[in-house]
Amino acid sequence: LCGDLQTQMPFPFSLLCLQVIKCKAAVMWEANKPFSIEEVEVAPPKAHEVRIKIVATGICRSDDHVITGGMVMPFPIILGHEAAGVVESVGQGVTSIKPGDKVIPLFVPQCGECSSCLSTKGNLCSKNHIGSAAGFMPDGTCRFTCKGKAIHHFLGTSTFTEYTVVHEFAVAKIDSAAPLEKVCLIGCGFSTGYGAAVQTAKVEPGSTCVIFGLGGVGLSVVMGCKAAGASRIIAVDINSDKFAKAKELGATDCVNPTDFKKPIHEVLIEMTGNGVDYSFEVIGRTETMAAALACCQYNYGVSVIVGVPPAAQKITFDPMLLFTGRTWKGSVFGGWKSKDSVPKLVADYMKKKFVLDPLITHTLPFTKINEGFDLLRTGK
C-alpha cells in the first residue's frame, strides 16, 4: 500500500507519515519548582524543520538560570540546549539533513544570510533566541503540548524531552560514528569554553591566563588555554574540590578567593607581576566580571565574559581600566559559527585532538533530572 501511494502522490510520501509523537519530557511549569516528567505531544516538523530523537543531553547552568529567574523566559517551558540525537523526520524543503542522521541541535543557529553569518568577525546569528523571552519556533508557534496547554521552547532547542523539533538552521549533522553521550557536550559547554580561549581571545603561546569558575565550561577554557600554548593557567574557584580536575586538564595554579583577605584581582596581580594576558569570567556574576577585568595587564590585557550575565543587573567599573588599553570582550558559543564548526569539532574529538570524558561527572537516567540539577547546584 505504501509503495502504491508513493507512486501515485505528487509529493514525497514521507510527508504523509508524519504524525504527532507522544513521549516523556521534563516540563518546567513555573519558576523555582522541580521539573515534572510529563507525557507531551510533539507535533510533526513544519517546512524547514527537523524532528529529533534526543539520545543524550547535558545540564547547563543556563538552564538553571531560567528556573531561578536569572534568565527570563515564559512558562511552562521545556528547557535544555546541550544535546545530541538522531533525526526522526524532516519537514518539507529540508535538504541538509535526513532521517537517521546523527545531529547536534544548535542554540546559536547559523542561517547563513544575516550580517553576523556573512561576516568573518561574528557568529551570533540574528535568528538566535538569546536575550529573547519569546519561547517559540521562528514562525511564532510551539510544537509541544501537554495537558491541552502549549509548552514553550527554549533557545530554539528544548532538549529535556525524548523528541524535539528545531529549525533546519539550528541543527548540525555529525559523524555517524560519534558517541552521542559524549559529543552532546559540543552542543554547548565544551565548545563555549574551548572556543572562548582559542577563537575569541586567541590565546598565544607563552601567555598567562586566569579562569574564574571551574564548572564544565570553565574547565573547557582551561583546555583551550593549554591547547593554545599558554605557559601559566591560573584556575580560580571558591570550591577547592574542583582543583584536582583543573590541574588534570592543564591548570598550573589553583586559587580559592576565600583563602585571602584582599580582593582576588590584587592577589592575581601579585602572583603574576603585571596582571594576566587573558582572563575569562565563566560564572555569570557581575562581581567576578569586574575582578576578571581588573586582574588583566593594564595596557594589553584581554578579559572575556563567558558566563551568562544575570537579568536586570548592571555593572559598575572604573573606566580607567579600559582607558589604559585593556580589552573587554564577550563570547557566545565560543565564537564558533555553529553549523560549520560543530561537525569539525566532533571530527577533532574523534581524532583524539581533545578529551571530553573528564567533563562528565555523572550519568543519570532522564527521570532523575531533578537529581542532576541538585548535583549542579551543590558543585558536584
Active-site entry in 81, 129, 152, 153: 81
H helix or E strand, kind and range, residue 41? strand 36-42
Residues in contact with 69: Cβ distance below 8 Å, sequence separation at least 6, in sequence order: 31, 32, 311
Distance CA 136, CA 129 (A): 9
Q: Pseudo-torsion of CA 235, 237, 240, 242, nearest 10°?
A: -70
Active-site entry in 14, 17, 48, 62: 62
Catalytic residue list contains 62: yes
Catalytic residue list contains 111: no
pLDDT in tens, 368-377: 999 999 999 9
pLDDT in tens, 178-217: 999 999 999 999 999 999 999 999 999 999 999 999 999 9
Cell of 115: 550580517
pLDDT for position 134: 82
Active-site entry in 142, 188, 225, 295: 188
pLDDT for position 216: 95
Closest CA to 317 of 281, 354, 292, 343: 292
pLDDT for position 8: 38
Catalytic residue list contains 65: yes
CB atoms near residue 364 (< 10 Å):
12
Least confident of 10-24, 74-88, 214-228: 10-24
Residue range 266-281: mean pLDDT, rounded:
97
Q: How confident is the model at residue 274 (pLDDT cuts 50, 70, 90)?
A: very high
Residue range 323-331: mean pLDDT, rounded:
97
Residue range 78-90: mean pLDDT, rounded:
98
Distance CA 85, CA 52 (A): 6
- Neighbour order of strands in the sheet with 144-146: 77-78, 21-28, 36-42, 144-146, 149-151
Residue range 143-163: mean pLDDT, rounded:
97
Cell of 40: 507531551
Q: Indicate if the pLDDT at residue 354 is higher than 70.
A: yes
pLDDT in tens, 113-128: 999 999 999 999 999 9
Considering the chain, what percentage of its residues have pLDDT values greater than 90?
89
Active-site entry in 60, 117, 142, 296: 60
DSSP summary character for residue 120: S
pLDDT in tens, 309-321: 877 788 988 999 9
Q: Is the peptide bond before 76 cis (omega within 30 degrees of 0)?
A: yes
Q: HSE of 10 in the Cβ direction (CA atoms, 13 Å)?
A: 0
Residue range 363-368: mean pLDDT, rounded:
96
Give the residue with greater pLDDT, 376 vs 131: 376
To the nearest whole number, what is the mean pLDDT of the chain? 93
The SS3 of residue 365 is coil
Catalytic residue list contains 188: yes
Q: Indicate if the pLDDT at residue 28 is higher than 80.
A: yes
pLDDT for position 15: 46
Q: How confident is the model at residue 17 (pLDDT cuts 50, 70, 90)?
A: low
The SS3 of residue 335 is helix
Active-site entry in 14, 36, 65, 114: 65
Q: Indicate if the pLDDT at residue 299 is higher than 60.
A: yes
Closest CA to 275 of 208, 338, 213: 208
Q: Indicate if the pLDDT at residue 13 is higher than 50.
A: no
Residue range 361-371: mean pLDDT, rounded:
96
Distance CA 115, CA 121 (A): 10
Catalytic residue list contains 295: no
Pairing of strands 144-146, 36-42: antiparallel
Residue range 163-180: mean pLDDT, rounded:
98
Closest CA to 179 of 355, 59, 364, 61: 355
